[in-house]
């Protein structure tokens, strides 16, 4: 009967260690979550994207001569 208690205790230790490990991983990932925003690369990419979209939108508009059929 002592062997059964030993196995039960080690099982709970393994489960507890897994839970603590998962909590540690989640906390680490949450701390790293916004690290890429500090570099400014996201803001630069967003600015370039909106500039390209605006450029494309204005290029597709017909000029007054094109509307008149000239």
DSSP 8-state symbol, 61: S
Residues near 36 by beta carbon (within 8 Å), at least 6 away in sequence: 42
Domain boundaries, the chain: 2-60
Phi, psi (rounded to 5 degrees) for 62 = -75, 150
- Taking the whole predicted model, whether its pTM rises above 0.75 is answered as no
Tens-level pLDDT at each residue, the chain (70 residues)? 466 566 667 888 999 999 999 999 999 988 777 666 667 777 888 889 998 888 877 776 667 776 777 6
42 CB-near residues (< 8 Å, 6+ apart): 36
């Amino acid at each position: 009967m002592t062997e059964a208690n030993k196995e039960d205790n080690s099982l709970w230790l393994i489960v507890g260690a897994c839970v603590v490990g998962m909590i540690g991983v989640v906390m680490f990932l949450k701390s790293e979550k916004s690290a890429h925003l500090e570099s400014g690369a996201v803001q630069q990419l967003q600015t370039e994207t909106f500039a390209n979209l605006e450029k494309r939108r204005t290029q597709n508009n017909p000029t007054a001569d094109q509307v008149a059929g000239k």
